[in-house]
Amino acid sequence: MELNRFYKLLIGYAIVGLLPFFGFSQNMVADTLIVAFNDTLKPALGSLSIEKVNDLRNTDSNFLSVYEKKKWLFFPVDQIVKTENPLARHVKQQYYSDSAGIAQYRVNINHFEIKNYTSLFGRQLILHSTLEISEQNEENDSTFIGTFYYEASETRKKKEPVAKSYEALLDKWSMRFGGDLLAVQNEIDKVVPAQYYHFRREQRAVGKNFYTSVEAFAGLNFWGVDGELWFSQPEANRIFNRSSGVIRYVNHPDFQAIAIGSNVRRWNYRLNQHWIFSNKMALLLGINNWKDIKTVGHKLEEILLFNASMTQSVNFNPLDKTGFVFGIGLMEDLHYVIYHNITFNLGISLNCAWKF
C-alpha cells in the first residue's frame, strides 16, 4: 500500500514537472503577495504637496516586484509582489496636503521596481526607481524641475516574512523621498551637490542601459579576450555595483581554455561626469585544451580550469549618455588545474563597449 502511494506521488511530481514542456506553464498562475504601503507614514513636509502622480511604467499599476521561488520543493514559480492600490495613488496619499498657499508638485513615475536577490551569502531587496518632478502653478500649468534616481537596499532576515522586508524598504524610500523634496524646494542640491548626486536638476529621466563589451588582456605568459553583456540601471549613487555574464578565451603556454561566469561583479566609482573607476571581479569555470595532448597523457580531471581574476580600470563613460565607452587597466589573474600548481599572472587590459 505504501509502495503504491509512493508511485502515485512520483507520477504526480513527474506530470507537474513536465507541464512546461507541453505548453501548460502559462496555466500555472503565479502567486501574488500584497504588501502594505504605509500611507499613514507622512513625512512632515508642511510647505509642499504632491497634487498629481502619473505612473508611466509599462506594467500593472500595482506592480512592485517579481521573483522566483520553489513550489513543492522543486517546481519554480513566479512570486509577484503588488501594492494594495495603484502605486501612484499611494505616493499621492503619502505627500498630499490640502493646506493653502504651499508649493504644489507633480510626479511622473518612470521606473519603480524591487529586485529580490537570494545567494549563498544572504538575501537582499534592492529598489530602483526613477521619478520626474514638476512644480504646478495656480493656472494648473507645470514647470519641470528635475529627476530623482534611487537605489536602496534592505537585508532580508531568514525567518522574517517577505512582506515585512518589502514594507520596511518602502518606508525607508518614502522618508528619503520626502526629505529630498524639501531639499530641492529650497535648492539645497545647488549648495551641496555631492549629497544629492541622485538628483539631476533640469534633466529628463533616462532608462537603463544595455552594454555589449569586449576586453582584451595580456601579460608575459598569457593573453585572452572577454565578451560580456549586462544591463545597468541609471546611476543613483557615486559608488555602485553592477553584474554581468562573461565568456572568456584565455591562452597559456601549456593550454588554451574557454571559461564562463554568470555573476561577474563590478564595483564602480564615478570620478566625474565622464570617467569611472571600476574593479571587475570574476570567478569562472572553464574547459581546457592541452597543447601537448598528442604527446602527454592527461587525465580527465585536467580538463577543468578554475579561474579567478580582478581588473582595475579607468573608463571613459559619460554620465546618463549612450554611445562608445572604453578603458585601460591592470589585471591580476589566478588559475588552477587539478594536479598542477596554482598560477598567478599579471597583465594589462584594454576594453571597449557600446552602451545602448
* Crossing angle for the helix pair 162-185 and 87-95, to the nearest 10 degrees: 50
Which of 185, 201, 217 is a domain's end point? 201
Indicate whether 188 and 214 sit together in one domain: no
Local structure of residue 90 (DSSP, 8 states): H
Domain that holds residue 92: 29-201
pLDDT in tens, 132-175: 999 998 888 899 999 999 999 999 887 888 899 999 999 999 99
Share of the chain above pLDDT 90, in %: 70
So what's the pLDDT on residue 39?
62
Across residues 23-52, what is the average pLDDT?
69
**Does residue 17 sit within a domain?**
no
Is-above-0.75 flag for pTM? yes
So what's the pLDDT on residue 30?
63
Q: Are strands 209-219 and 199-201 parallel, antiparallel or unpaired?
A: unpaired
CATH number at residue 308: 2.40.160.20
So what's the pLDDT on residue 289?
93
Nearest-angstrom CA–CA distance, 113 and 275: 28
Indicate whether 139 and 175 sit together in one domain: yes
Q: Are strands 122-136 and 142-156 parallel, antiparallel or unpaired?
A: antiparallel
So what's the pLDDT on residue 77?
80
